[in-house]
A and B are shown apart, each in its own frame.
Chain A
Amino acid sequence: MTSDLHAPTRRHLLLASGTLFAWAYLPKVARAEGRDPRLLVIVLRGALDGLAAVAPVGDPDWVALRGDKALTLDGKPPALPLDSFFALNPAMPNLHRLYKAGAATIVHATATSYRERSHFDGQDVLESGLGKPGASDTGWLNRALASLQPAGRAGGGREAFAVGPIAPLVVRGPAPVLSWTPRRLPPASDDTLTRLLDLYQHTDPALARVLEERMGLATIARAGGMDAEQPRAAGAGQVRAYFAESAGTAARFLARADGPRIGALAFDGWDTHAAEGATNGRLAMLLGALDGAIAAIETEMKDAWGETVVAVVTEFGRTARINGTDGTDHGTATVALLAGGALKGGRVVADWPGLKPAKLHEGRDLKATTDLRAVLKGLLKDHLRVDDTVLASKVFPDSAAVKPMAGLLQRV
């Protein structure tokens, strides 16, 4: 709670909403096995375009679908090959390196059970773990924690921490949660401003004019009066720094012997309706920042990296085709990115649905063939040793039919 309402500069938009840990509850069973597992969940709010993050370059319909916006192995820059079928966005060299080293797994064509296209409701379902939006004020990660027996470690951070502005729903709930708020303010994102300007231009030209003027001034200020051609360049560095600091700090806490073992944070900004820029624009910048965040986690985890899983998830995917404004609209299936030394990685897990029009969900979205809950249940079961029945009833209620995905972890 440092700067609060007194913003020293313009536009401190929300890109991340703090990092939350549950300290008192620890995976006791896993510890009894001589392990000390860590789980960090990163929620990407706004719906990540899974096809732009991990492209099915081996699918014959891929290039036809996205045209010159399609990632390809001979693109500029070229996509990073994962296997004979999938390739990673070139903005993510760290994740690629981890994948090659067996410490990253990609799950593709995955989605929650939510099939509508509202961000708020989609995030509700993703974070609550329930089948319907708005039904819960607790998150699945918290309920999973609450089911674990308190490990009763001596010392070790049961004391309250400063509470940040918002706890992501995924960690809210009965288990005691302490939060830490990054000291660095989220960097200015142009997304809210762009949306607001668009609204003003359609409804209130006078307000639009004022905001445009302010944007113009800020552009000059940001570019130091010299570099007005590329006004957005400075912002990318800020986003990158913010992602890395947030994730790296979370990792430093998780790495400590007396620290928490579970954490969650959220990064905003993935709602790429216009000028998506998968290879060298906005999405590439965000993916690069996310890649840097994963690298920061690996670095800060030090020896604990071998017992770590980072799960990067988003509320839903985006349309398979590019829309009329070089972006993508709200869709269905997407990717989940898993990284960490505890994984049995180097694989893309996908029951690929295909990209032909008839194969697309409602003729427009990548079809979901893997229930995201299966992935999360697999991690909770094999990594933290959350009980099967608890997973099916309390953590992801009414999900008995969705079996935990096996084989994600090195040790089972």
Chain B
Amino acid sequence: MALDPKAEAALALHRFGVSPRPGSIAAIASDPRGALLADLDRAGAGRIPDTDLLPSGPAWRAAFAYQESQRMARRAERAMQQANAQGAGGAATDTKPPDMKPADQPATPAAPRLSPGPGVPQQLYLDEAKARFNAALGAEIGFVERLVWFWSNHFCVSADKGNVRQICGAYEREAIRAHVLGRFGDMLLAVESHPAMLIYLDNARSIGPDSLAGLRQKRGLNENLAREILELHTLGVRSVYTQEDVTRFANVITGWTLVGMREDPARGGEFEFNARTHQPGAQMVIGKSYPDTGAEQGRAVLAALARHPATAKHVATKLARHFIADEPPPALVERLAKRFLATQGDLKEVAKTLVTSPEAWEAPRAKLKRPGEWIIGALRAVGYTPPDIGLMMQAHNLLGEPLWRPSAPKGFTDESAPWLDGLAQRLDIANQLARRVGGAADPREVFEEALAPIASAETRQAITRAESRPQALALLFMAPEFQRR
């Protein structure tokens, strides 16, 4: 290769990993590609170990219990206010402060109280966010973390929809991380049957028009999830499916929903196939007829979609666009798609093909890092962990990539141009971070450890000639070689 070993190591970490931390470049310089491949082979790769985080079912129920107690507390409060107003017998002459209870009324025993603080759903969300950031900050190389981020964005949900907030982190762990080096078909099934996705794309309340429930109610089919599975998750927009395919596939996955809390408090929020809302009958989807086998009917369609050449092409293109170039080299996309098909969607094999392809290393470092990549990279470079998760969330918000909150099911874009607009905001964040780190890091060392092998002479000069350490760090974070990969 044209690159010297250290430059290739730096490129490996910036392009495929979560950016270097002190020592990373030297550690993998003898074999950068081998190091990326080894990252895929680590035991437990992709998982978040030793976690106290709740699975999505218990998280759902904890959030529900909290929301119920809040509802009761608000009701009790209203009741008390009404009682006070009536008991006072004319508020105009009452001289007591409004928050005092009339003396003749006993205090409501053990009335539930509105609890302060962020509330259970938000706390679950923040705990999950923290675990995700820590996984990236603590990663040796972080290639698998980047794959997690990629797939999580490919199959995105939003914390802003319904009650997704309390389970969006669990969703990533259960549906994405569990399969990030497994089979695409398994990830697809885990994703589309996960409560977070079923709520996010409305399938939880989709009802087959001719199902038992559909015949009795006015409500009916919701095509949202079926459409996005075909358009975004598998085949790709304007590929091989028609509107009829969307509708029939929507019929197939009617009944894919969650256990209701009132129906079964112990299992509320878990996935269930509800035969009473499932559209009966065989369905023809993309040229193949699927007999009505209940939940199996949907699984069969998903399995077929996972094997489809259009899916291979779509996924290969997105992977190459994310990691390599906005306009990925066709030969690379071709090779990834072929590998995807030949291995029945083995994502580990596809990832190996990505990093062993020459195009993946030859492409110019032109892609702007996404905000999350850039923030984590800056923190790793200086070895700083913000004491407050709120700061991390705010930084992501300010830069336009709020965690697990994309504005549409398409997820955050992988193209560079839209992110360029946030450059001035990145300078704000760079300055704030540089201030916090301050004199604790020597910018010249940070530069050597994170950037030197791929940095221009101009960048080196700008950093070494800065008037203070914070200014040098801010310039380092903003350097083209730190912004692009």
Contacts and interface: CB of A to CB of B under 8 A. Distances in A.
Given A191-B471, A195-B462, A120 B444 contact: yes
A327 interface: no
B467 A11 contact: no
A8 to B, nearest CB: 9
Given A196-B427, A199-B479, A207-B483, A269 B438 contact: no
B475 A211 contact: no
Nearest to A119: B467
A154 B1 CA distance: 71
B467 A7 contact: no
B446 to A, nearest CB: 11
Contacts of B423: 207, 210-211, 214
B395 A14 contact: no
Interface string A45-89: 111000000000000000000000000000000000000000000
| 6 shortest interchain CB distances as A-B pairs | A166-B438, A271-B467, A46-B467, A204-B480, A6-B394, A7-B428
28 contacts: A4-B432, A5-B429, A6-B398, A7-B429, A10-B428, A12-B431, A13-B431, A13-B474, A17-B438, A119-B466, A119-B468, A120-B443, A165-B438, A166-B435, A166-B437, A168-B439, A191-B467, A192-B431, A192-B475, A195-B466, A195-B471, A195-B475, A203-B458, A203-B459, A204-B480, A210-B421, A210-B424, A268-B467
Contacts of B397: 6
Contacts of B459: 199, 203
Contacts, number: 136
Contacts of B434: 14
B247 interface: no
Given A6-B398, A195-B462, A195-B475, A12 B470 contact: no
Given A17-B470, A165-B436, A210-B421, A196 B475 contact: yes
Interface of B: 386, 388, 391-392, 394-395, 397-398, 420-421, 423-425, 427-429, 431-440, 442-444, 456, 458-459, 462, 464-472, 474-475, 478-480, 483-484
A11 B465 CA distance: 20
Contacts of A10: 424-425, 427-428
Contact of A14 (B391, B435, B458): B435
A123 B433 CA distance: 20
Given A46-B468, A191-B471, A203 B456 contact: yes
Residue among B388, B443, B470 having the largest count of chain A Cβ atoms under 10 Å? B470
B468 to A, nearest CB: 5
B293 to A, nearest CB: 52
Given A192-B431, A196-B478, A200-B480, A166 B436 contact: yes
A17 B471 CA distance: 12
A207 B444 CA distance: 23
A4 B467 contact: no
A73 to B, nearest CB: 31
B422 to A, nearest CB: 9
B273 to A, nearest CB: 44
A407 interface: no
A123 B444 CA distance: 14
Residue among B397, B424, B458, B474 having the largest count of chain A Cβ atoms under 10 Å? B424
A5 B437 CA distance: 12
A13 B434 CA distance: 10
Interface string A252-272: 000000000000000011110
Contacts of A193: 427
